[in-house]
Each structure stands twice: as C-alpha cells, then as structure tokens.
Amino acid sequence: NILISACLMGVRCRYDGKCQHIREFERHIPVLMERFNLIPVCPEVCGGLPVPRVPSEIRQEDGTAVIAADGTDVTDAFSRGAKKALMLAQQYGCRTALLKKRSPSCGSGQIYDGTFSGKLVPGDGITAALLKKHGIEVLGEDEVLKLIQR
Ligand code: SF4
C-alpha cells in the first residue's frame, strides 16, 4: 500500500481547483496501479480547507506556522490534515508515500520560502515531515521510477 497525493491521481483538490498534470508522472500511473494499492489523500482538504482556497506557504521564521497569501493563519488545518494523512497511512500499513513536491503539505526536501515569491528553500511540508517522523518514507513524484523499479 502506497499513500499518494490525491492531486497526482487526477483529483481536483489543489488550491486553484485543479489537479496536478505532470505528463512525465502520468505515464507511470497504470504501472503504479498494477503494482501497488494506491491510497490517495489530500491533507489540506482532510484538514478542512475548501477547494479552491487561498494558497499557503510555511513561514520560515519558526518553520511551523502556515500562512495563507491573504494573511490567514491556517496552521491548525494543515496540522489536522497531516494527522489524518498519518492515520490513513498507518491504517493501511503504508511504508512509503509518493507526494507532490514543493507543496506546503506534501512537499519533501524543498518547499517555498513563505514569501510567495517563488523562492525555494530546503525543508518539508507539514504532512511530509510528520510522515517521515513516524518512519514513513516520502518520495516526490519525480522519484516514481525508484518505486516502480523496486
Ligand atoms: Fe495535492 Fe497535497 Fe496539495 Fe492536496 S495538499 S492539493 S494532495 S499537494
């Protein structure tokens, strides 16, 4: 069982009401579905945020506050969603999660710097960080081959 960002599977749960179209990733979906039981999750929707919604980024000063572009503090919703994603992963015994890179929830290794200027900094999204803390491997969509080739 693999936890996967719902937007990568065609669910329109992104902040802009769209799904994530990445042609390079989408061509691997049939193989992924054949090889694994995919458990889709959108932590931001699970945390109670609507679709569409104002985009958010993690403020770098303290590393945990998530602030929407209109200044609203959405940290609680992000952490609620992260906990629900973790519960789902544990319920299904997922040891790996394949998550959308650079998202303030799902991103691993690199996220936007909190200034809404498009600048990336090293770091993890709220959900990716919680999953890792509980021993779940987090891969980005560009690492899908790593998973398939196992
Ligand atoms: Fe996709 Fe994750 Fe953002 Fe939901 S929270 S839209 S699953 S990247």
Distance CA 78, CA 27 (A): 30
Ligand 1 pocket test, pick from 11, 20, 79, 105 with the greatest ligand atom count within 8 Å of Cβ, gives: 105
Does residue 106 carry a pLDDT above 90?
A: yes
C-alpha distances out from residue 66 to 85, 93, 115, Å:
17, 28, 11
- Location of structure tokens 């669910």: 11
Ligand 1 pocket test, pick from 41, 84, 106, 130 with the greatest ligand atom count within 8 Å of Cβ, gives: 106
C-alpha distances out from residue 137 to 17, 97, 111, Å:
28, 6, 17
Q: Which atom of ligand 1 is nearest to the CA of 15?
A: 6
Q: Are 90 and 97 in contact, with CB atoms under 8 Å apart?
A: no
Q: Give the alpha-carbon dihedral of 77, 81, 82, 85, to 10 degrees.
A: 180
Task: Determine the pLDDT at residue 61.
Answer: 84
Mean pLDDT of 119-142: 97
Going by pLDDT thresholds of 50, 70 and 90, the confidence category of residue 20 is very high
Does residue 52 carry a pLDDT above 90?
A: yes
Q: Are strands 38-41 and 2-5 parallel, antiparallel or unpaired?
A: parallel
Task: Determine the pLDDT at residue 51.
Answer: 98
Going by pLDDT thresholds of 50, 70 and 90, the confidence category of residue 81 is very high
Q: Which atom of ligand 1 is nearest to the CA of 6?
A: 7
